[in-house]
């Protein structure tokens, strides 16, 4: 708890006022990731491998943008910084722990941008949904990575729209807008996202499966695996929650 409090306090002055409400959830994720490191390592390794494979295949390696860079546990930042002239990390919050790690690694070509990538405000205002339109302004863009972000967009929108009469229509719209934005980028792309989760008991029986894409079909992934986001003992001794992940 002390480390969490310190990370929160150190992140507060480094975060814009609009995004400070999200520091707590980022710190909670940081703490959970530390607790569940053993259970998450395969997912993080496979995510890094998918991103790195796409990066190495780029004909030019000038600028890479990582959407949803988060804690950097699942992003091969050091390798990307060696391959590309510039690495741009985009997320709502960049914790002090993440910023410190980047400095300690000496990654001088890494840039941080705070940004809401959901497009939800535009949807609620009845405006055109173009949450990734800012990518058109990024010079020499050769690769865009969406790193375990898309499901979080849906989860965040669902929570914010709780009780809203148009929730069932808007959430799929913001998910689709992200996919459309990636499709329109004049650069290579890499999408890694969990698309569903299942509650599993100790006998292996599956009790509930939830579609994190809210009906939006992403098609088959080039790579697929399960990620035990909530292992046994994290929230319950008797159940764990497996997220199904695809990479394209």
**What pLDDT is attached to residue 205?**
92
**What pLDDT is attached to residue 51?**
98
**What pLDDT is attached to residue 241?**
97
SS3 59: coil
**What pLDDT is attached to residue 221?**
83
Q: How far apart are CA 80 and CA 110, in angstroms?
A: 9
Where in the chain are the domains? 2-247
Residue with tokens 């992934």: 221
- Strand ranges inside 32-102, DSSP E: 63-67, 86-91
Strand partners, 199: 208, 241
Superfamily grouping for domain 2-247: Vaccinia Virus protein VP39 (3.40.50.150)
pLDDT digits (tens, 9 = 90+) for 35-67: 999 999 999 999 999 999 999 999 999 999 999
pLDDT at 165 over 90: no
Go through 178-205 and write b for each residue having 16 or more CB atoms within 10 A of its CB, e for each that does not: bbebbeebebbbbbbbbbebebbeeeee
% of the chain at pLDDT higher than 90? 90
What is the reported pTM? Answer: 0.95
Query: In which band, very low, low, confident or very high, does the pLDDT at 232 lie, cut at 50, 70 and 90?
Result: very high
Query: In which band, very low, low, confident or very high, does the pLDDT at 92 lie, cut at 50, 70 and 90?
Result: very high
pLDDT digits (tens, 9 = 90+) for 168-178: 889 999 999 99
Q: What are phi and psi of 146, to 5 degrees?
A: -105, 105
Kindly report the average pLDDT of the chain as a whole number: 95
pLDDT digits (tens, 9 = 90+) for 172-227: 999 999 999 999 999 999 999 999 999 999 999 999 999 999 999 998 888 999 99
pLDDT digits (tens, 9 = 90+) for 131-156: 999 999 999 999 999 999 999 999 99
pLDDT at 125 over 90: no
Helix (H) / strand (E) containing 228? strand 223-230
Q: How far apart are CA 107 and CA 71, in angstroms?
A: 15
**What pLDDT is attached to residue 219?**
86
In 3D, which of 83, 74, 78 has the Cα closest to residue 55? Answer: 83
């Amino acid at each position: 708890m002390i480390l969490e409090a310190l990370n929160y306090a150190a992140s507060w002055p480094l975060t814009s006022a609009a995004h400070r409400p999200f520091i707590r959830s980022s710190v909670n994720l940081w703490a959970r990731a530390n607790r569940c490191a053993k259970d998450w390592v395969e997912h993080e390794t496979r995510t890094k491998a998918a991103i790195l494979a796409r990066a190495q295949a780029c004909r030019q390696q000038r600028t890479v943008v990582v959407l949803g860079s988060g804690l950097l546990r699942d992003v091969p930042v050091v390798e990307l910084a060696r391959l590309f002239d510039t690495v741009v990390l985009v997320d709502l919050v960049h914790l002090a722990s993440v910023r410190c790690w980047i400095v300690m690694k000496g990654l001088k070509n890494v840039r941080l941008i705070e940004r809401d990538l959901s497009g939800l405000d535009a949807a609620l205002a009845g405006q055109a949904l173009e949450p990734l339109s800012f990518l058109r302004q990024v010079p020499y863009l050769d690769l865009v990575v969406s790193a375990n972000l898309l499901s979080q967009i849906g989860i965040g929108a669902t929570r914010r729209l709780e009780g809203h009469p148009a929730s069932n229509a808007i959430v799929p719209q913001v998910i689709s807008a992200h996919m459309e934005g990636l499709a329109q980028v004049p650069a290579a792309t890499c999408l890694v996202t969990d698309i569903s989760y299942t509650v599993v008991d100790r006998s292996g029986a599956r009790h509930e499966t939830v579609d994190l894409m809210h009906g939006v079909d992403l098609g088959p992934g080039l790579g697929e695996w399960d990620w035990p986001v909530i292992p046994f003992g994290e929230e319950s001794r008797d159940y764990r929650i497996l997220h199904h992940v695809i990479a394209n």
